[in-house]
Structure 1
Amino acid sequence: MSMEISIICPTYNEEKYIDTCIDSLVKQDIDKEKIEVFFVDGNSTDSTVEIIKTYQKQYSWIKLLNNPERIVPYAMNYGIKASQSDIVMRIDAHSFYADNYISVLLNAIREFGATNVGAVCRTDVLNKNAKTLAIGEVLSNPFGVGNSLFRLGVDKITEVDTVPFGCYRKEVFDRYGLYNPKLVRNQDIELNKRIKRDGGRILLVPDTYCTYLARETYKALSKNNFQNGMWNILTVYYTNAMDSLSLRHFIPLLFVLSLVIPSLLGLIWAPFVILSVLSFVLYFLLVCIISIKAYMKNEVSICYMILTFYVLHISYGVGSLVGLKRVLFKQV
């Protein structure tokens, strides 16, 4: 029996989430004899590998590969090279998938002849309390994470610039190249930009979805978004292409600069500080309005939402600032 689809999941220290991810794959409405799932692990130091091996004993379609370089592009490239199908799907261990996720995307890429297809990605948290629900709400809000259609949702098949966890024809990687091994972050966005730049079609389909499980502490959230922000700048540097990302990826940097630059100029002439204060106050008023609306709709903590917005955007913007410093001072 020929393999219909090869699914690749990079992992590194995912013991909190890997069960939820695999359980959702077990429930998929596709014949498991026609799929293979590669978990490509970057030498996890927790029990991730042991958990995967436990599932392997039960399900022969689960396979385990090693990724000594420990970053996603290498994991994806190892999985692509090992795959036996002409269709490849990328998934994430921090997520779980609707029961028809694989079958819908597989049918879509066959029916519509697209280069890449994906679905809406919702945001949730594994452990629910006032703080984590606020984090989940902010990470689902357009002001929090931008206006990508894969976050907002669509009611019909729509051509887009990128999708989160794509389903590709394997020939794509011969034509456009593999994942860029220089990119610790943004590797999916950059690949999709390459595809679009060369006339490929990326479709977002409405008939299924996945759910991303957000980080649940402010320390983890700020660390993750600092790296995201920094790698926005480094992605442009390594690809030598401004269109490797979109304008929305640089808005937090502009916000942080609106606080930092007037404050520094205030050392020369004190009234400049007013501009920083004005930026801070206007942002505060905006997130207050958004948080109040969220409370009225979902009864989410207003205080936690406001704090989450600040943690998210400042850590992201500072990360971009550090990335800019690294590029300007040749620290890359």
Structure 2
Amino acid sequence: MSLHPLADQPAVSYVMPVLNEEGYLERAVQTILAQDYDGEKEIVLALGPSRDRSTEIARGIAATDRRVRLVDNPDRDIPAGLNRAIAASVHPVIIRVDAHSELTPDYTRRGVAALRETGAANVGGVMRAAGSSPVQRAIARGYNSPFGLGGGAYHGDGSPGPAESAYLGIFRREAIDAVGGYDPGILRGEDWELNLRIRRAGFSVWFEPALGVTYWPRASFRDLAKQFFATGTWRAVLVRKYGRANPWRFFAPGTLVVALVASLLVLALLVTTVLPWGWWALGLAPLGGYALGIAFAVWRIPEQRGALDRLLTAVALVTMHTSWGTGFLRGIVFGGGRVVDRSRA
């Protein structure tokens, strides 16, 4: 399916769902307003029922800059908020942004150029996670490493080309309208699901590594576990709905959790002498293999300073893998239900 030709400097609409983001919102909006792009801009913030000062901050920003507009998102969920912001926006290019993200100054200019040159319906770049505390930096290292989140192109540098999905995304409005926007029933993994429908409609999704976004992940292991449990649950929903369209790597964390639980059960039975040592000790292989794998990953991941950093990196990786995998198993058996990410509550 083809798209209409895009002007050299088309007007752009930035859409951002906001919920409990008082520590990040103002900076995120500032990086949008500071874009070195000459086309007309607007920002639409979809305000969920925050428990912090996010709504107050958003209203203050909108009061001082007419390019910023606000819409209510009483459902609080990200897909519903994005749909409301998109409906309230007016420009032919829609740029999804996150209150936890900061765009490089050339992000819009380069992204719009890639849209025009490739004819793609959506263009995305590289997520570069960052942290301000030891724990948040450890979590960021997990995000930035294939040992943490696997093989998604936008988690590392690579070559420009067609992609399965995109981080955030710079969209042609035509394509979003053609597929009906975000599915409000998919509470996590909504970007992957939308990009799947875009590709199935005959449009293309493009990875452009020159585009960079700084992402500030959760700052505690407890919040990370909540986030990844919800993500794993909804990935399972997408597996139930779309089957083989899902890459094999999404099955790995659930398989890992099953193997580790079985290995721990064998260990308990061996220690209590319910099972005799011998061949049964082979049941400890998944546990031992995973421990060695984490040790190898910690050794390979860069930007660590000393034993504490390495310990925190190991905890971050294990939390990501097991929380995601446990959520995935929950979703496979029971579906998504009302499992939502409460880590920003």
Q: Same fold (TM over 0.5)?
A: yes
Q: Tell me how far apart the structure 1 counterparts of residues 107 and 86 of structure 2 sit (CA, whole Å).
A: 20
Q: Tell me how far apart the structure 1 counterparts of residues 338 and 65 of structure 2 sit (CA, whole Å).
A: 46
Q: How do 1:8-27 residues align onto structure 2 when only pairs under 5 Å count?
A: 8-27=15-34
Deviation at residue 290 of structure 1 after TM alignment = 1.8
Could you tell me which residue of structure 2 aligns to residue 48 of structure 1? 54
Q: Tell me how far apart the structure 2 counterparts of residues 192 and 246 of structure 1 sit (CA, whole Å).
A: 14
Deviation at residue 94 of structure 1 after TM alignment = 1.0
**Alpha carbons of structure 1 residues 39 and 276: separation in structure 2 relative to 1, 3 Å:** farther
Could you tell me which residue of structure 2 aligns to residue 245 of structure 1? 246
Q: Tell me how far apart the structure 2 counterparts of residues 85 and 312 of structure 1 sit (CA, whole Å).
A: 37
Q: CA RMSD in A?
A: 2.5
Could you tell me which residue of structure 2 aligns to residue 319 of structure 1? 327
Deviation at residue 112 of structure 1 after TM alignment = 2.0
**Secondary structure of residue in 1 paired with 2:182:** coil
Deviation at residue 299 of structure 1 after TM alignment = 2.5
Mapped contact 2:124–2:169 kept (Cα < 8 A): yes
1:91 and 2:91 matched: no
Tell me the alpha carbon deviations over residues 47-100 of structure 1, each in whole angstroms, 9 at most, x when there is no partner.
Answer: 101111111222111111101111111111112211111111111111111011
**Secondary structure of residue in 2 paired with 1:165:** strand
Which residue identity does 2:327 align to in structure 1?
G
1:30 and 2:30 matched: no
**Secondary structure of residue in 2 paired with 1:242:** helix
Tell me the alpha carbon deviations over residues 200-225 of structure 1, each in whole angstroms, 9 at most, x when there is no partner.
Answer: 21111132200110111110111111
Q: Tell me how far apart the structure 2 counterparts of residues 198 and 22 of structure 1 sit (CA, whole Å).
A: 32
Mapped contact 1:190–1:245 kept (Cα < 8 A): no
1:235 and 2:238 matched: yes
Deviation at residue 243 of structure 1 after TM alignment = 4.1
What is the TM-score with the length of structure 1 in the denominator?
Answer: 0.89
Mapped contact 2:122–2:172 kept (Cα < 8 A): yes
Question: Following superposition, which runs of at least 4 residues in structure 1 exceed 4 angstroms of deviation?
Answer: 262-269
Mapped contact 1:288–1:302 kept (Cα < 8 A): no
Q: How do 1:1-332 residues align onto structure 2 when only pairs under 5 Å count?
A: 4-31=11-38, 34-125=40-131, 127-129=132-134, 131-154=135-158, 156-237=159-240, 240-261=241-262, 270=275, 274=281, 277-294=284-301, 298-299=304-305, 301-327=309-335
Identity of aligned residues (%): 28
Q: Tell me how far apart the structure 2 counterparts of residues 273 and 67 of structure 1 sit (CA, whole Å).
A: 55
Deviation at residue 253 of structure 1 after TM alignment = 0.5
Mapped contact 2:143–2:155 kept (Cα < 8 A): no
Q: Tell me how far apart the structure 1 counterparts of residues 257 and 188 of structure 2 sit (CA, whole Å).
A: 21
**Secondary structure of residue in 2 paired with 1:270:** coil
Q: Tell me how far apart the structure 2 counterparts of residues 119 and 14 of structure 1 sit (CA, whole Å).
A: 23
Mapped contact 1:235–1:244 kept (Cα < 8 A): no
Mapped contact 2:126–2:157 kept (Cα < 8 A): yes
Tell me the alpha carbon deviations over residues 153-196 of structure 1, each in whole angstroms, 9 at most, x when there is no partner.
Answer: 12x43111111111111111232221111011011000111122
Q: Tell me how far apart the structure 1 counterparts of residues 78 and 317 of structure 2 sit (CA, whole Å).
A: 27
